Every structure is written in C-alpha cells, then in structure tokens.
Chains A and B, each alone.
Chain A
Amino acid sequence: MRRLELVGWTAVAIVLCVFAIPWFLWGDATTVAGLPLWLWWHVGWMGLASVVFWVFTQRAWGIGIETEGRSPQSTAGTDGDRP
C-alpha cells in the first residue's frame, strides 16, 4: 500500500516537472491580457505546484524517507504496516 503511494507521488513529481514548461504551446505567440499565454500557464502551474506540495505535506510527508512504523503520521491510516 505504502509502496503504491510512493509510486503515485513519484509520478506526480514527474508530471509537475514535465509541464512546468507548456511544451504543447511551442511556437505559440497568443497573448492574453498583455502576457503570452504560455507565461500564464507557467504562473498557474507554479500555483498548482504549491497546492500539490501542501497536500503532500499533509498526507504523505515522510514517505520514502522515514522508517516504517516510527512516525505516528505514517501509520495513522495504515496500522497494518506495524510489525
């Protein structure tokens, strides 16, 4: 279970990296409210990244690093992890 969660968060991290630059707008010069559309995307994406990071700190902080069963948070919902 914890392992699946780790894979999930790793995937989230990769997606956050990949789309910080809107590759699908490559060559596009559309401007919205005086700024290039691709810049708006980036600003929005960074805001989203902050929200995702915040959710991570609330739900999964310690994953992949803290030793299983040591931290109360990591075992709050998954008592089965305790040896």
Chain B
Amino acid sequence: MTLTLQLGIIVGYLLLALAIGLFAYRLTDRTAEDFYLASRTFGTIVLLFTTFATLLSAFTFFAGPNIAYAQGPEWVLVMGLMDGIIFAILWYVIGYKQWLLGQSYGYVTLGEMLGDRFGSTWLRGLVAGVSLLWLFPYVMLQQVGAGTALEALTEGAVPYAVGAGLITAFMILYVVVAGMRGIAWTDTVQGAFMLVVTWVALLWLLAVIGGPGAATSALEAEAAHHLALGSDFYTVQWMLSTAITIGFGVAMFPQVNQRFFAAGSKTVLKRSFALWPILCVLLFVPSFLIGAWARGLDVTIPEGANVLPIVLAEYTPVWFAALVIAGAMAAMMSSSDSMLLSGSSYFTRDLYRPFVDRTISERREDLLARIGVVAFATAAFAASLWNPATLFELGDAAFSGFAQLALPVMVALYWRRTTRAGITAGIVASQLFYLSSLFLGFVPATYAGWSAGLVGMGLGLVVTVGVSFVTTPAADERRAIYFERLGAD
C-alpha cells in the first residue's frame, strides 16, 4: 500500500510535468531560437522561477541539509551569499549585458557571443568544449541522485537503473517535444512546488516537536557548538572560497547563462533581480534548518544516508514524505532538463555548425538540436550506470570548473583592450590549473585555506589581462561591439 502510494505520487508528478510540456508544444515555432530560448519571451514569474528551479538541484534537498546536520546551519549563510547576493549582482553585471547583446546580435550561447567579438571560431569551440566537459558529468550526477533517491524511497522495489532510466525517459520526452518553453513552464510549477513543500515540511516538523525554541534547545543539548557562528569546518576562507567560486560558477553554467538571453524585456530582468535574494532565503532557511535541527532530534541517520527523507518519514505521514521526495525529483529534473537543452545547443551551434556543416538550415538545426538532447541524455544515463570515478569527480567539481570561465568573460565584456590571445590564454591557463589541482597529486587543492577553484579564478584574470596587454588585437576582432549602441530602447 505504502509503495503504491509513493509510486503513485511520483509517477503522477512526472505525468503532470509531461502534460505541461505537451501543452507548451502547441505554442512552439519550429526554429532553433524558439527551441533554445522560447524566442526570448519570458515574463517575470517564468524567468524568476525557471532560473530558480534550474539553479537549485537535488543538492538543496539532500546534500545541503546533510551538511547542516553534520556541521551546523552556517550553510544557510554560504548559500545566501553565493546565490542570493553574488549571483544576483552577476545577474546585472553579466546577465543584463548579455541580454542586450543577445537582443542586438541574436546570440544564443556564450561561445557564440565571444566567438563573434573575437572573430574566432576556435574560441567559440573552446568555450563550448570546456562547458560540455563540466556539464556532462554534472548531468550524470543528477541521474545518479534520482536513481538513488527512488531506490531508497521504495526500499529497493524500484532498482537504481530503473529509477534513473524512468526519470531520463520523461525528461527526454518533454525536452525534445517542447524545448525551452516547456522546460520553463514545468520549472515554474516545480519551483513553486519546492517552496511550498519545504515550508509545509518545516512547519509540520515544528508543530510536532514544539516550536523553534524547543528544536534549538534540543540541538544545543546535542551539539552546542553548532549554534555558534564558525567552526573548524566553517572557516572564513572556506566559506568565502565556496561562496565566491560557486556564485561565479553558477553564472557560467550553460543552462543558467543561457537564461540571460531569454528574458522578454528589461522590466522582466529588473523585477527578477530585485526579488532574487528574498526567493533564495525563502528556500534555504527552511531546507537547511530542518537538517540542522535534525541533529537534536531522536532519529538515527545511518552512515551515508540523506537526512531530510529520514526525518520526514519519522515525523510526517508517508504521503507527505513521498511528496517531498517528489519535490526533490522536481529539483533534480528542473536542473537536468535545462542542462540537456543547453548542452545540446552548445554542441549544435558552437561545435557542429561551425566545424562540420556551416550551411545547415534553421529547420535542420532545430531537428539536430532535438537529436542532440536524446544523445546527451542517453549517454549521461549510460555513464550513470557505470559511474566512473573520474566523471564523478568532474561532476562534483563542476561549479568551480565553470567559475574559471567567469573572470575572462567579464574582462572581455568590460575592457575594450582584451585581445583574442588574452582571453584564450586566460581560459586555457585557468582550466589547466584547476584540472591539475583535481587530478595531479603534486598540485595542491588549497592555498592557506583558500580553494584551488578561487586561486584558478585569480590566475585566469591575471593571464587574460596580462596577455592582452602584451599582444595586439587580431585583424578580424570586432572590438567595439560590446560597447557601442547598447541600450534597450
């Protein structure tokens, strides 16, 4: 009975997402721009929630509360700073400028925007290649998460491979059919659903245990040091390194970056920007507090298990716990579907079109993009069954990997003297440095407490600026296009 109910809720939820995708299909044009960017028509609510739901993966429901349980609630501060403040500022600094450029020149991807400015197909391919290197394993991790969560929820009745396969199949269906518009609409529903379900979970838990005062007293009795700000784990360097690298990394993640192009108007960008910090804090506080308070409650968390589902299973009815798992699935799918679409667009526009077939028509590119989604999802699913250690490590480090792109891109956006050689060297040097800190034993992962990700960002900045100083621009660079006639009116 319990199993039927749990599966019923999850499958019902998947079908709802599919129905929304099919509905969106009726409004789509058969062009690549519509498939990737919904023809740049998003309103405030849709842009806000699609970015929100895309940004927050299963991490908010599983790994985040686990960290708060093990180390204390300071995690709220790190996430608040990285997503609520740093990313919001980049929303303006990178996002608004990208949006204006997209309006003027019709760019769909980051690589396209840079390749056009620097007159270099190779730079365009490099940006796409680097992005896919980090994106693919990250998608794989989401599938691993989905498979594991379903297996745990149903106590093995749905094996890992079946769970991950089911989620992948549903995503392929609605992404291929409906593209960005379908994704954004399902994201809006998913984002709202996550918010509501997390708050209900928190209030429910507090009602059972007797309010925040009682919960905090219980935590104080069990682990008093969790209430004091800072610890051996939450050092100043660690908190800042994490917040800065992930905050900048988010802005370069293809599925988030591409949303900068998709806003319908300047007003939409402004409103979303102002609402952003509040939306973040509304989700992070309840989600991570449940994890932090769980430490003081009378529940045993087995080694390696996720805190949130266990606490909910203990204090709330079965149907509600299943709803929250559906919320976690929502978080996972709303990130993965967008990643599939962006991954496919980076591949078709920045690798296939410039290097394989320059003359491809709009209709054919649209078809190729859909085939790309199926191929990308299937390959990531196959990899998730095998889950090789190298891919796992790459996926785990994806935010810092993307963060390496941020500063060279910002220099290019705001400094006229940036040269093709400068930005290319900046991107290559920081990527090589960060990859070697992951895989080569003799390159340290921290420098006086600061992470290699952050050090790599600094390196990328210095190399981009330094090499630009000593080189002259290539003849086919269009140095003025980021600076001339920019204004939305």
Q: Which of A26, A62, A65 contacts B230 (CB 8 A)?
A: A26
Q: Given the complex, which residues of A lie within 8 Å of B489, measured CB to CB?
A: 70-72
Bound-state CA distance A39–B274 (Å) is: 21
Residues in B with CB closer than 8 Å to A21 are: 77-78, 81, 239
Whether A70 pairs with B485 at a CB distance below 8 angstroms is: yes
In chain A, positions 21-36 with a C-beta closer than 8 Å to chain B are 21-23, 25-29, 31, 33-36
Against A, the Cβ 8 Å flags (1 = close, 0 = not) of B450-489 are 0000000000000000000000000000000001111111
The verdict on B84 contacting chain A, using a C-beta distance below 8 Å, is yes
Interface residue range, chain B? 35 or more
B236 near A33: Cβ-Cβ < 8 Å: no
Q: Is B191 an interface residue (CB 8 A)?
A: no
Q: Which of A10-26 contact B (CB under 8 A)?
A: 13, 16-17, 20-23, 25-26
Interface assignment of B16: CB less than 8 Å from any CB of chain A: no
- Minimum CB distance partner of A43 in chain B: B281
Chain A: which residue is nearest B275 at the CB level?
Answer: A50
Which among B49-57, B58-66, B221-229 touches the partner chain?
B221-229
A46-71 vs B: 1/0 string, CB under 8 Å?
11011001101100011011110011
> Does chain B have a CB within 8 A of A42?
yes
Q: How far is the CA of A54 from the CA of B271 in the complex (A)?
A: 8
CA distance A20 to B100 in the complex (A): 29
List, in ascending order, chain B residues with CB within 8 A of A67's CB: 483-487
Which of B100, B224, B277, B414 is A49 in contact with, Cβ under 8 Å? B277
A34 touches B85 (CB 8 A): no
B381 lies within 8 A of chain A by Cβ? no
Which listed residue, B89, B229, B239, B278, touches A47 by the CB 8 Å rule?
B278
Q: In the assembled complex, which residues on chain A have CB atoms less than 8 Å from the CB atom of B484?
A: 67
Min CB gap B207→A, angstroms: 14
A54 touches B274 (CB 8 A): yes
Please measure, in the bound complex, the distance between the C-alpha atom of A23 and the C-alpha atom of B74, giving whole angstroms: 12
Measured as residues with beta carbon below 8 angstroms from the partner, the interface class of chain A is: 35 or more
Q: For the complex, what is the distance from the CA of A34 to the CA of B85, rounded to whole Å?
A: 25
Task: Find chain B residues with CB under 8 A from A26 CB.
Answer: 229-230, 236
Residues of A within 8 A of B266 (CB): 61
The answer on a CB contact under 8 Å between B275 and A31 is no
| B21 on interface, CB distance cutoff 8 Å | no
Q: In the complex, which residues of chain B have a beta carbon less than 8 angstroms from the beta carbon of A71?
A: 487-489
What are the residues of chain A within 8 A of B488 when measuring CB–CB?
A: 62, 66, 71
Q: Decide yes or no: A29 and B281 within 8 Å by CB, A20-B85, A49-B85 being known contacts.
A: no
Contact A17 B230 (CB under 8 A): no
Q: Across the interface, which residues of B come within 8 angstroms of A66, CB to CB?
A: 100, 486-488
Q: How far is the CA of A26 from the CA of B224 in the complex (A)?
A: 15
Residues of B near A46 (CB, < 8 A) are 80, 84-85, 277-278, 280-281
Q: Which of B89, B229, B266, B280 has the most CB of A within 10 A?
A: B229
Given A42-B77, A71-B489, check contact A22 B229 (CB 8 Å).
yes
List B contacts of A62 (CB < 8 A). Answer: 96, 487-488
* Contact, CB under 8 Å: B274 / A50: yes
Given contacts A46-B281, A49-B85, contact A20 B77 (CB under 8 A): yes
Closest to A73 in B: B489
Interface: B276 (CB within 8 A): yes
Rounded to whole Å, the gap between the CB of A69 and the closest CB of chain B is 9
Give the segment of B163-171, B211-219, B332-340, B395-403 that binds chain A. B211-219
For the complex formed, measure the closest distance between the CB of A28 and the CB atoms of chain B, giving whole angstroms. 6
Q: Which residue of A lies closest to B247 (CB)?
A: A17
Q: A residues within 8 A CB of B236?
A: 23, 26
Known interface pairs A20-B81, A53-B273, A67-B487; A33-B212 also in contact (CB < 8 Å): yes
Instruction: Given A27-B228, A42-B77, A71-B488, decide whether A16 and B100 contact each other with a Cβ distance below 8 A.
Output: no
CB-CB < 8 A to A70: which residues of B?
485-487, 489
Q: How far is the CB of A47 from chain B (nearest CB, A)?
A: 7
Q: Which of A's residues lie within 8 Å of B, judged by CB?
A: 13, 16-17, 20-23, 25-29, 31, 33-36, 38-39, 42-43, 46-47, 49-50, 53-54, 56-57, 61-62, 64-67, 70-72, 74
19 A–B contacts from the bound complex (CB under 8 Å): A17-B85, A20-B77, A21-B77, A21-B81, A26-B230, A26-B236, A34-B216, A35-B216, A46-B280, A46-B281, A47-B281, A49-B84, A56-B92, A57-B270, A61-B266, A61-B270, A67-B485, A67-B486, A71-B488
Q: Which B residues are closer than 8 A to A by beta carbons?
A: 73, 76-78, 80-81, 84-86, 88-89, 92-93, 96-97, 100, 211-216, 224, 227-230, 236, 239, 266, 270-271, 273-278, 280-281, 285, 289, 414, 483-489
Q: What 7 pairs across the A-B complex have the smallest Cβ distances? A: A34-B212, A70-B487, A57-B270, A29-B228, A54-B274, A34-B213, A46-B281
> Knowing that A13-B89, A42-B76, A50-B278 are A-B contacts, what are 19 other residue pairs whose CB atoms are under 8 Å apart, sorted by A's residue number?
A17-B81, A20-B85, A26-B230, A31-B227, A33-B212, A34-B212, A35-B212, A36-B73, A39-B73, A39-B285, A49-B84, A50-B274, A54-B274, A62-B487, A62-B488, A65-B97, A67-B483, A67-B486, A71-B489
